[in-house]
Amino acid sequence: MHDKTLTQLKAGLDAGDFSARELTEHLLARIEQLDPRLNSFVTRTAEQARAQADAADQARAAGTNAPLAGLPLAHKDIFCTDGVRTACGSRMLDNFVAPYDATVVEKMQAAGAVMLGKTNMDEFAMGSSNETSYYGPARNPWNTDKVPGGSSGGSAAAVAARLTPAATGTDTGGSIRQPAALNGLTGLKPTYGRVSRWGMIAFASSLDQAGPLARTAEDCALLLGAMAGHDPKDSTCVDRPVEDYSAALTGDIQGLKIGLPEQFFPEHLDGRIGDATREAVRELEKRGAKVQWVSLPHLDLSVPAYYVIAPAEASSNLARFDGVRYGYRCAQPQSLEDLYKRSRAEGFGSEVKRRILVGTYALSEGYYEAYYGRAQRVRTRIRDDFQKALSEVDVLLGPTAPECAFDIGAKTDDPVTMYMQDVFTIAVNLAGLPALSMPAGLVDGLPVGVQAIGDYFREGRILNLAHAFQQATDWHEKAPAFGGEA
């Protein structure tokens, strides 16, 4: 059963080929046997999953089943889950048990999904490799010496290893799309405000967005339909009807105008990734799409602008973790100042502390306008570049990541090199646009992802492009040689 997509599992459950309880038990056993080699889960919720599966079977028997009834998934450990530890990859929250569900979790439960557990992640979503996690790095099932990407690396590794058919992730600068690319998955970052951020532990509030990781565009459409929608508890969540994303998957892209940003094909891009991207473009052209070159002239400023804006917002958001109200507290503090200093110094990892310091500096008196204010003006120019390009074409296409999965430990001593892993994804978050990564090839046995970027609230369009591509190719069907038929 683990080799089936989410959509295929739904069809199997509807046909009575197996029960939700049988499916859940199969995947729980697989996680128990195989995940010690991957470290993709930090918490398993077996008893809760069994209870949810039984409820789904009962609802299906009564004819009252919800859209995702009995379908298993995992949640990134950044989403609060009532009665379950929500650690956000950090020692700071290692003992935190959330007293409520995030809206995404609540919506998935209302749709009948079964939660298998919580997945590993970079600490407070700060990282591109899953190596900053307090619980150790997750590993890429295509090669366990390689990183799975980040920050949603645990979710991506779990789906790629067929431990779960789908998982939630969050994307602040590429943290759904980059791990999707490195693991041969389809990962969608929706338009900012399309999915509620309530109950999702904040990193950078103007950039964070929740979305799905799965094997196909069909699966992502099914999941987005369940998680999207207005939430009055989140002031940044847009009050706009939710499209029927599954119905949008016609596979017809005749006449679709695809723009290739010239800045997505720099000289230093791995030529094999460039070739895989161009081959994907040729396949889409065969299906009737029209292709032209476009320009995003300020794209090279996206990484420096992001690494001022995101740390500044992180500095503000993470100020609440002070050892007083909840989370990690140092032992035997000598004073209130000592409590603050040691709790934060001991509770946060080095990457989180680095970004807090950078962000605090950027927001400090005398430097705010020189750094944060200027970065926001650059952000406006980047958004305007996208709007100009998307006024000429329907979708933008290019590589998701500049390289395939790299060795664990290869970049941990060079933060700037690590930051450049998101060079093609960060600008999308700065502009608030929707984007999707889809599998498009293999290089030295490792997956390559191609990214499709759409205009605001055009998730259906980019999902349909990916669906058309997946009807013509089988890259999304490729699986790592991991775990056999357990």
Distance CA 164, CA 159 (A): 5
Sequence-ordered list of residues with C-beta below 8 angstroms from that of 10, at least 6 positions apart, any chain = 68, 71, 222
Catalytic residue, chosen from 10, 19, 40, 76, is 76
Distance CA 294, CA 397 (A): 10
Residue type, 465: L
Sequence-ordered list of residues with C-beta below 8 angstroms from that of 45, at least 6 positions apart, any chain = 81, 84, 115, 116, 117, 118
Query: What tokens were used for 3?
Result: 């080799």
Rg (CA), the chain: 21
Is 175 a known active-site residue? yes
Distance CA 27, CA 133 (A): 24
Catalytic residue, chosen from 90, 151, 196, 302, is 151
Is 128 a known active-site residue? no
In degrees rounded to 5, what are phi and psi of residue 193? Answer: 95, -5
Helix, coil or strand: residue 398: strand
Query: What tokens were used for 374?
Result: 């200027």
Q: 261 forms bridges with which residues in the sheet?
A: 294
Is 364 a known active-site residue? no
Give the position of tokens 């090839």. 441
Helix, coil or strand: residue 390: helix
Give the position of tokens 């969608």. 188
Catalytic residue, chosen from 19, 129, 155, 175, is 175
**Helix axis angle, 20-34 to 46-62, nearest 10°:** 160
Q: Are 105 and 79 in contact (CB under 8 A)?
A: yes
Q: Which residues are catalytic?
A: 76, 151, 175
